């Protein structure tokens, strides 16, 4: 009988939250659109910073010159287009490209004669990241080209042994990490906004005086916020799968870990909303909490690569385990040493702890309100 009563209370609290949200659609729309904007802005940042745009001036169109440009393209560090010397100079002066690489005249003839060749590289060194990419990738392209064109003359070569079964692009890898952060943001926004609204409207008094368990109220509020958070999650997933083209290798893992992430950060949102008690404060606080956790949780690569202190911080961030789990679900990568079972245990434990804290704080704050 007690279980049936608790389930009715959970259903009633969830239904009330959903009904109130539908009466004020502005906050619901904010909760759905902010995570999508978060995803798109970070992807635009990644696209603009992934590869350096350069112009190649072809003063020799021989087969070796063409193979050299192909070696540059194979370095995966450039966005290459050919241009005349005048056009290339105009582009680098206007800031639309990072470098101009000039293939000199008699390139093929000089190589055939084993003469020394200098390849002019003009660099716009305004951006140190792009500049360093150019400085590393051009010599690498030259070495790769020479080893391919004259294998008998290059006696030292690298032999690569891949840890992962397949490569993945920078954008597909980062898109999965950003999607996890978007799920966290959507869940935390909905949970915090719905809870803060109870304090603004005064419905907290009714909940605090009701003869029901605070844990039951907390679960009901998490489920109510979960409806809109799930809508935002589906929209994020659609953008990643349909528009970016990243399809999960293990769909059931996406579902399972997605539900764990939603539960964990919905509960955390309820806790935040209980503490601040104002929607205008809950929204910026939720956004501010996501950004540092995102960068400290290994979105660009395994968290172990961050170094001792950032890696130690990442070890206590639930977002670290969520990102590792989703990278395996989408790409099949094991990016963390702890394994999927530990990822699931950590996220489940965090969810239970957040729900418990939210129920405890919710009861104390409600009793004093």
Backbone phi and psi for residue 78, each to the nearest 5 degrees, phi listed first: -125, 150
Q: In what order do the strands lie in the sheet with 121-123?
A: 78-82, 52-58, 99-103, 121-123
Q: What is the pLDDT of residue 103?
A: 94
102 bridge partner residues? 57
Mean pLDDT across 48-65: 84
Topology given in CATH for the domain delimited by 52-149 = abc type-2 transporter like fold (3.40.1710)
Mean pLDDT across 145-153: 84
| Predicted TM-score of the model (pTM) | 0.72
Instruction: In the chain, list all ranges with CATH 3.40.1710.10.
Output: 52-149
Residue 2, H or E segment: helix 2-23
Question: pLDDT per residue over 81-101, tens digit each?
Answer: 999 999 999 999 988 888 999
Which residue did the predictor score with more confidence, 289 or 142?
A: 142
d(C-alpha 363, C-alpha 215), whole Å: 9
Residue 70, H or E segment: helix 63-74
Check pLDDT > 50 for residue 1. no
d(C-alpha 97, C-alpha 362), whole Å: 55
121 bridge partner residues? 101
Query: For the CA atoms of 268, 271, 276, 281, what is the dihedral angle to 10 degrees?
Result: 20
d(C-alpha 363, C-alpha 349), whole Å: 21
Q: What is the pLDDT of residue 307?
A: 62
Contacts of 198 (CB under 8 A, 6+ apart): 204, 207, 273
Dig out the tokens for 11 from the structure: 């259903």
d(C-alpha 78, C-alpha 72), whole Å: 7
Q: What is the pLDDT of residue 366?
A: 52
Q: What is the pLDDT of residue 86?
A: 93
Chain length of the chain: 369
Contacts of 122 (CB under 8 A, 6+ apart): 89, 92, 99, 100, 102
Contacts of 72 (CB under 8 A, 6+ apart): 56, 78, 80, 101, 137, 138, 141, 145
d(C-alpha 52, C-alpha 77), whole Å: 6
| Beta strands 121-123 and 99-103, pairing class | antiparallel
CB-count burial class (<10 Å; 0-12, 13-18, 19+) for 144: buried
Q: What is the pLDDT of residue 306?
A: 60
Question: In this predicted structure, which of 113-117, 127-131, 363-367 has the lowest mean pLDDT?
Answer: 363-367
Q: Token pair 């990278």 is at which residue?
A: 327
Mean pLDDT across 117-123: 91
Check pLDDT > 90 for residue 158. no
């Amino acid at each position: 009988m007690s279980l049936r009563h608790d389930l009715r209370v959970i259903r009633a609290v969830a239904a009330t939250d959903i009904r109130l949200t539908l009466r004020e659609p502005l906050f619901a729309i904010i909760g759905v659109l902010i995570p999508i904007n978060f995803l798109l802005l970070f992807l635009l940042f990644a696209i603009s910073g992934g590869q350096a745009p350069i112009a190649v001036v072809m003063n020799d169109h021989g087969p070796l010159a063409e193979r050299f440009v192909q070696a540059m393209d194979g370095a995966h560090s450039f966005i290459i287009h050919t241009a005349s010397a005048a056009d290339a100079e105009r582009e680098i002066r206007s800031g639309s490209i990072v470098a101009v690489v000039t293939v000199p005249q008699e390139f093929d003839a000089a190589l055939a004669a084993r003469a020394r060749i200098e390849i002019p590289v003009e660099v716009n060194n305004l951006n140190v990241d792009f500049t360093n990419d150019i400085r590393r990738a051009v010599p690498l392209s030259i070495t790769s080209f020479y080893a391919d064109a004259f294998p008998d003359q290059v006696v030292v070569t690298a032999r690569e042994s891949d840890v992962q079964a397949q490569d993945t692009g920078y954008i597909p890898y980062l898109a999965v990490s950003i999607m996890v952060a978007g799920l966290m943001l959507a869940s935390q926004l909905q949970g915090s906004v719905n809870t803060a609204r109870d304090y603004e409207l005064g419905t907290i008094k009714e909940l605090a005086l009701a003869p029901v368990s605070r844990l039951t109220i907390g679960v009901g509020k998490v489920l109510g916020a979960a409806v809109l958070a799930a809508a935002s999650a589906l929209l994020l997933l659609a953008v990643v799968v349909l528009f970016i083209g990243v399809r999960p290798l293990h769909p059931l893992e996406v579902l399972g870990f997605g539900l764990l992430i939603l539960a964990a950060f919905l509960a955390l949102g309820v806790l935040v909303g209980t503490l601040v008690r104002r929607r205008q404060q809950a929204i910026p606080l939720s956004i501010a909490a996501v950004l540092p956790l995102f960068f400290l949780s290994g979105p660009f690569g395994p968290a172990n690569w961050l170094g001792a202190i950032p890696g130690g911080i990442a070890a206590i961030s639930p977002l670290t385990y969520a990102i590792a789990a989703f990278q395996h679900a989408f790409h099949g990568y094991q990016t963390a040493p702890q394994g999927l079972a530990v990822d699931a245990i950590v996220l489940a434990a965090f969810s239970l702890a957040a729900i418990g804290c939210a129920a405890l704080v919710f009861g104390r704050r409600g009793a004093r309100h």
